[in-house]
Amino acid sequence: MVGEGKPRAVIVGGSIAGILSAHVLTLAGWNVTVLEKTNAPHRGSPTGAGLGLDPLSQRIRVMASGTSVTMKVSSDMIQKMHQEAEKVWTPELFKVLKETKKPFLNVIYDGEPLGETFWDNVVLVGDVAHPTTPHCLRSTNMSILDVAVLGKCLEKFGAEKLRLALEEYQFIRLPVTSKQVLHAR
């Protein structure tokens, strides 16, 4: 059997955090499987998610169809949006909004900072570990830092002491990511 005796990891999601996690774990000698619902490079994805994992994408099986978070807007919604935008945005940004012919809304779901980022042998990295809203442009940078810290913790403790590595990862990252989630609101 390929990889027998190696530690194993299953990564859910081919995002930057997912691919970087797979890379770091593979370099550390782990047997890694990445599960991604997107079956094509980002230009074919309705969400822009996933990195397209070519040529590995040929082995990916679509697990679910995507759902849209874009909604059509009514004239009442547009009017209220214009009123609010005029109060808080600079005149230049308000002008862009007002002159947009077919505006749309993308729903942004906000979540509280998590109380933990691992349990048993499961560890969260990337957006799932810190659901930031997009207002501060932190998501990708935070994901890269998650993986860098996780890699250092795994390097320090090894697969034999996985729990200690995950505890240290959580100890280092959780206060930082919690602060960022709250700041991005």
pLDDT tens per residue, range 63-74: 445 555 566 678
10 Å CB burial of residue 147 (0-12, 13-18, 19+) is buried
Q: Which of 42, 61, 60, 59 is nearest to 50 (CA)?
A: 42
Q: Identify the band that residue 53 occupies on the pLDDT scale cut at 50, 70 and 90.
A: very low
Structure tokens at 165: 């590595």
Q: Identify the band that residue 13 occupies on the pLDDT scale cut at 50, 70 and 90.
A: confident
Structure tokens at 61: 């099986």
- Given a cut of 50, whether residue 163 has pLDDT beyond it is yes
Q: Identify the band that residue 4 occupies on the pLDDT scale cut at 50, 70 and 90.
A: low
The reported pLDDT for the residue numbered 29 is 87
Enumerate the CATH 3.50.50.60 domain ranges in the chain, comma separated: 8-35+109-183
Sign of CA dihedral 25, 29, 33, 39: positive
Q: In the CATH scheme, what is the code of domain 8-35+109-183?
A: 3.50.50.60
Q: Identify the band that residue 21 occupies on the pLDDT scale cut at 50, 70 and 90.
A: confident
pLDDT tens per residue, range 170-181: 999 999 989 988
Q: Identify the band that residue 3 occupies on the pLDDT scale cut at 50, 70 and 90.
A: low
Express as a percent the part of the chain with pLDDT over 70.
Answer: 77
The reported pLDDT for the residue numbered 58 is 43
Q: How far is CA 81 from CA 76, 86, 97, 106, 177, in A?
A: 9, 9, 9, 13, 31
Q: Identify the band that residue 56 occupies on the pLDDT scale cut at 50, 70 and 90.
A: very low
Q: What is the mean pLDDT of the chain?
A: 78
The reported pLDDT for the residue numbered 75 is 84
